[in-house]
Chains A and B, each alone.
Chain A
Amino acid sequence: MNLFDFQQVTVSKVSRHYGRRRALNSVSFHLQAGEVVGLLGPNGSGKSTLLGILSTLITPSSGEVRYGNKLSSVLGADLRRLIGFLSHDLQLYPELSARENLEFYAGLYGQGQPSSLVNEALSRARLAERAEEPVSGFSRGMRQRLALERSLIHKPRLVLLDEPFTGLDDRSTSELIERLRLLSGEGCVVVFATHDLDIADDVLDRAVVLRRGRITELPDGHASLRARYRQLVTSDNSMERRAGV
C-alpha cells in the first residue's frame, strides 16, 4: 500500500481572520525536509495560528498550504498521520499515567508494538521510573517532556512545536536541541515557535519572523539571532513612531 508522504510544505498567501482581527495576512514561505525553522515574533503576531494552520486544525480564511504537491483539504487522515504537534497546552490526560497517555496516542496513531515504543519514549523523557504515576502529579517540565514524546511517538514527517522549551531545565533543553537536530537529520520538517532566541540560535537553520500577522525579513549578517531580531524590532518601532502609530 502506497502511503502518502512529502518532502516540502508550501504556504501560499495564507490569511486568517477572526472577525475583524487579522491574525495572519498573506503569509507565504516554503519548508523543506531536513530543515529546522524557527517561528519568531512578539506575542499576538500569529505564530500559534500559523502552527495551527500547518497542523490542519485551523482552516485559512484564504490562501493554501500544500504538503508535497497536495492540498491539506484532499488529504485528511493520511496527512495527519505525518504531523506531530506539541501545542502550548500539552494534550495530556491528567488522570492517566505517563505510560497510559503514550499508549493511548500510540494506539490512536496505529503504531505497531506500542509497548516497546512507549518504553523507549519514557526512557528518552527520563520518566521511566514514574511511568505508572498519574500525569496530574508531574511538574510542568516533566509534562513538557512527556508531551514532546507524545507528539513524536508516531515518527511524523512534519514536527510542529509551540514554545517547546517552556519549563525545561538545562539538561532537558540540551536534550531537546539534540533531538531536533536528530529529527532534521532524519528528514523531518521541524518548525518551532519560541521567544527564547538564544536557544533558537543554537538549533535553527533559518527563522521566519512574524509581526502583526505578516512575515518580516530578519536582517542579514553574522550577528547573533538576538541581535538581529532586536535590530528588526527597533527599526520597526522607529518606523511606527514616525508613522504616528
Chain B
Amino acid sequence: MCKDIRVESRSREMVYTTTFFAASCVLVFSFAFVRSGRPVVGAEAGIIWVALAYAGQLALGRTFERELHQDALRGLLLAPVERAAIFVGKLLGIMLLMVVVEAVVVFFVAVFFSTALFDYGLLFISLLVAGTIGFACVGALFAAMLARSQSRTVLLPVLLYPITVPVLIAGVNGTLSLIQAEPNLDLARFWLALIAFFDVVFMTLALWTFEPLMTE
C-alpha cells in the first residue's frame, strides 16, 4: 500500500481523475434533481452511492493496470508473502482512494442539496465505510482477475455491478433512512448489518480465490 501511495503521489492521476469524475457526477445530478431550489426528496442518497460506484470503478480499472506495466504484478506474485496479503494491500489502497472521493462527494452533496448528512454522523460514516469495503473488495478481485484481459475495461463493470448491487442498494436505503424527514435509525442499522454481512462474505471469498486466480 505504501508503494501504491508513493506511486500515486507522483502522478496523482487516479486521485484527480476519480475525484473530478465524482464531483462532476454530483454536479450533473444536482441540475437534474434540484428544482426551484428544492432537491427531490431522497435523491441525495442515490447520488452519493452512484457517484462512489462510478468513481470506484475508474480507480479499480487503473489500480491493477499499473501493475501490468513492466509486468510488476509478477514481481509481486514472486515475493515470499502470502498472495492474499498482496490483495489486502491493493484493497487498502483502493479504499483509501475511495475515502478521499467520498469526502469530496459528501461535501458537494451537502452543499448542492442542502442536506444535513451528519445529523447521525456515526451511522452515516459506518454505512459509507462498510459499503466501501464491500465494493472495493469485489472490485479489487475482479480487477485483478481481468488485469491481463484485453476486454478488461468492458468486462469490469459488467461483472462488478451485478455482484455489488446488494451493497449499493443497502447503502442507498441506509442513507435514505438517515436523511429522510423522520429518520429511522433501526432501519439504518438493519441496512448497515446487511452490508457488513456482505462484506464478510465477499472478503472471505476474495481471500480464498485470489491466489488460484493469480496463478497461471
A residues at B contact (CB < 8 Å) = 52, 55-59, 76-81, 83, 85, 87, 89-96, 100, 104-105, 108-110, 134, 150
Contacts and interface: CB of A to CB of B under 8 A. Distances in A.
Main secondary structure of the interface of A (DSSP, over half): loop
Interface string B68-109: 011110111111111000000000000000000000000000
B182 interface: no
B80 A105 contact: no
A184 to B, nearest CB: 21
B77 A57 contact: yes
A90 B72 CA distance: 8
Contacts of B149: none
B74 A92 contact: no
Nearest to B13: A95
Contact of B78 (A83, A92, A100): A83
Contacts of B11: 95
B38 interface: no
B151 interface: no
Nearest to A79: B80
Contact of B70 (A52, A58, A79, A90): A90
Contact of A94 (B69, B74, B79): B69
B35 interface: no
Interface of B: 3, 6-7, 10-11, 69-72, 74-82, 215-216
B72 to A, nearest CB: 5
A134 B11 CA distance: 12
Contact of A77 (B3, B69, B81): B81
B7 A80 contact: no
A62 to B, nearest CB: 15
A110 B71 contact: no
A58 B216 contact: yes
A81 to B, nearest CB: 4
Contacts of A81: 80
Contacts of A78: 80
B74 A104 contact: no
B3 A92 contact: no
Contact of B71 (A59, A79, A89, A134): A89
A57 B72 CA distance: 13
Nearest to B216: A58
B63 to A, nearest CB: 13
20 contacts: A52-B216, A57-B74, A59-B216, A76-B82, A77-B79, A77-B81, A78-B80, A85-B78, A87-B71, A87-B74, A89-B70, A89-B71, A90-B70, A90-B71, A91-B75, A93-B70, A94-B69, A96-B3, A96-B7, A108-B80
